[in-house]
Structure 1
Amino acid sequence: MQRGSPVVVVSASFGAGHDGAAEELAARLRAQRRAVHRHDFVDLLPRRAGVLLREVYRRQLTVAPRSWGWLLALAGAGRLSGRAATLTAAADEATLAAVGPDARLVVSTYPLASQVLGRLRRQGRLTTPVVTYLTDLSVHPMWIADGVDVHLALHDDTARQAKELGATDVRVVAPAVRHLAARTGRPALRLPAHGPLALVVAGAWGVGQVERAALDIAATGLAVPVVACGRNDTLRRRLNRSGRVLALGWVDDMPGLMRACQVVVQNAGGLSSLEALAAGVPVVTYRCLPGHGAANAEVLDRIGWVPWLRGRADLAGGLRAALAGGNAFAPAPLRPESVLADLAVAA
């Protein structure tokens, strides 16, 4: 039986990373018999504005990813702050209604939701404490909202960035990723029976230079590329026609798939990277997305969690090192504090 005032978790269905973190946080809270109410920020924006914004973002990453990098840079320099405030203000009333009068705590895993919640706290319209869980290792200024009570960071480096951007109470916690079951066998997943496998992950939408990355891996002869295309069926069909790549559609058991492979190749530094590290599978960054992908890649490389292979000349050597090094890039420096302990303190 659930007990006490609810914890409200606000995420956003922009890909699967923000939702994945929110889902795991909610699961851990429910395991403590706490009531949890989850909300998608997309649904809190009026007149389907959130749905439109999500589709624009998806198409931008698919068709013109460099423009996403430019847009993030402008936002980081404050040049879009007025427009962002106007956009998020439209969600104020719906967010207040979603939180309700009895919530014990609000947790945001999405930067624009944090902006709304922080503003409502500053205005005194929201009295419930607000925690932002930073899903990225690199902290964009939009993540840091005045009025948010606590920011949770996944590494000391991330905490430093958050403090430099104005966050006051910042705590370092272990990533909220699923507890992983035993290794799933290749036959159950219909994977090649022989040879090292390199799992190429590209988020729920299968965006970025995925095809080029997979073919580059195949050309090294060091591993068979297995591509998790997410919901991008067009990419999956095209890759499978190449005859050099095994392309999969949506995978429910992503941790099991990771454990069946010998290395994970990622391009955005999001949830998939953290899940692979938690599973003890070596991870490398290759052909990363502009904007948040490149920013996360830089931090992951700097802190020693995931090496960034910046070009084809680095790929073969990077794959060899990962395949030979086992768990060499696992996040051993993580502090053992529980995410839930910090949430409880904030409440």
Structure 2
Amino acid sequence: MAVEARVVLLSARIGAGHDGAAAELARRLRARGLRVDRHDFLDLLPGRLGQWLCDAYHRELEIAPGSWDWLLAALGTAPLAWLAGRLAALAGPKLRALLDPAPALVVSTYPLASQALGDLRRRGLLPAPVAVYLTDPSVHRLVVASRADLHIAPNRHAAAATRHLGAPRAITAQPVVAPSFRPAGAGERDRAREKFGFGPGERLALVVSGSWGVGEVEAITADVSATGVARPVVVCGRNEALRHRLIAAGVPHVLGWVDDMPELMRACDVAVQNAGGLTTLEALASGLPVITYRCLPGHGRTNARVLDRIGLVPAVTDPAALADALLTTRAAGLPPGDDPATVLARLAGAPAVEVTAA
């Protein structure tokens, strides 16, 4: 009886993008006959350090989001990038334990996990091949692990930037999005609107700001309403305080955590996002036009520039231009490319397997 090749997949619960990409990669790899073990990198750090990092990042985006601009820039310098690498290396003992016996492949969707894996490779302690899956359209020094065998980027711009920062091999593959995110079929749009209590003739702008509901969400909502061309549908994620404030302000369509985001996207006409992460890719896969507006500092701004430059998601910087963007932006769809799970399965030495989309 053949033994399943084991893949270890490292992610982190910072936001939902890293975990979302890891979950879909795991699903696709299992469909190809591989055994996949998923781990949260933050749990591999000593004590409560991982949770402290998660909480500190969350608080920074809530209280002083502008500081993320200069902190991200500082982390792009060699001294602070080295320091971040030393922090990541603290996960080494627990990481080595879960990688024994050596798997067929290790995949990271989170920058600090990539740095920790690179450190193990540098010290000769990790014989398995290592792949890094990039979850953002823009690239930062910390996402690149020079000792990794492969970096998978969601667009050519990101792949080129990754190689420039020292990756020995970087390729472009299609972003991973769950198959439930797809354009609406006949009658699905009307049924979705009825489910969420939306009027049949309303033009709806889906306002999304990640699982934490951070950024200038209230200002975005007010600006969309002020255009008069679309009614905002605001998803607050786990930010209950934001949800209560918007309801108190009289915003008619305010949601907290949404379990059926694919159906919600099929109910709407356009999406307004501020970070350029996984939700943006899910909207594009759903055939939903997307614009960036009042983006988050740091990665939100760098992602917005890249998405605008490659023609996927226009960045709107002037409130006066918002109405026109809400009316005229067209759905771009996901960029073409190979399925990254196929590339990863090949790197793990697994035989080629035909897999359906569902």
Task: Provide TM-score, normalisation by structure 2.
Answer: 0.92
CA deviations over 1:148-176 (Å, ceiling 9, x no partner): 11000111111111111111211111011
User: Which residue of 234, 244, 255 maps to 1:248?
Assistant: 255
Q: For the structure 1 residues 209 and 30, does the alpha-carbon distance in structure 2 shift closer, same or farther, using more than 3 Å as the test?
A: same
Q: For the structure 1 residues 78 and 123, does the alpha-carbon distance in structure 2 shift closer, same or farther, using more than 3 Å as the test?
A: same
2: distance between equivalents of 1:31 and 1:248? 33
2: distance between equivalents of 1:3 and 1:224? 54
2: distance between equivalents of 1:53 and 1:294? 22
Name 2:123's counterpart in structure 1: 123
2: distance between equivalents of 1:273 and 1:281? 9
Name 2:347's counterpart in structure 1: 346
Contact persistence 2:205–2:231 (CA under 8 A): yes
Name 1:266's counterpart in structure 2: 273
Q: How far 1:89 moved relative to its partner?
A: 1.6
Question: Which residue identity is paired with 1:314?
Answer: A
Contact persistence 2:174–2:336 (CA under 8 A): yes
2: distance between equivalents of 1:281 and 1:14? 26
* Count of residues paired in the alignment: 341
Instruction: Identify the structure with bigger relative contact order (alpha carbons < 8 Å, sequence gap 6+).
Output: 2
Q: For the structure 1 residues 43 and 192, does the alpha-carbon distance in structure 2 shift closer, same or farther, using more than 3 Å as the test?
A: farther
User: Which residue of 280, 299, 303 maps to 1:296?
Assistant: 303
1: distance between equivalents of 2:125 and 2:112? 18
Aligned-pair identity (%): 51
Q: For the structure 1 residues 195 and 27, does the alpha-carbon distance in structure 2 shift closer, same or farther, using more than 3 Å as the test?
A: same
Name 1:34's counterpart in structure 2: 34
Question: Which residue identity is paired with 2:295?
Answer: C
Name 2:320's counterpart in structure 1: 313
Name 2:333's counterpart in structure 1: 330
Task: Provide TM-score, normalisation by structure 1.
Answer: 0.95
Task: Calculate the aligned-residue CA RMSD, in Å.
Answer: 1.5
Name 1:114's counterpart in structure 2: 114
Name 2:133's counterpart in structure 1: 133
User: Which residue of 209, 212, 223 maps to 2:216?
Assistant: 209
1: distance between equivalents of 2:22 and 2:50? 18
Gap regions ≥5 residues in structure 1: none
Q: For the structure 1 residues 225 and 115, does the alpha-carbon distance in structure 2 shift closer, same or farther, using more than 3 Å as the test?
A: same
Find out whether 1:278 has 2:285 as its counterpart.
Answer: yes
Question: Which residue identity is paired with 1:32?
Answer: R
Name 1:44's counterpart in structure 2: 44
Q: How does 1:168-183 map to 2 (within 5 A)?
A: 168-180=168-180, 182=184, 183=188
The DSSP-based 3-state class of the residue aligned with 1:13 is: coil
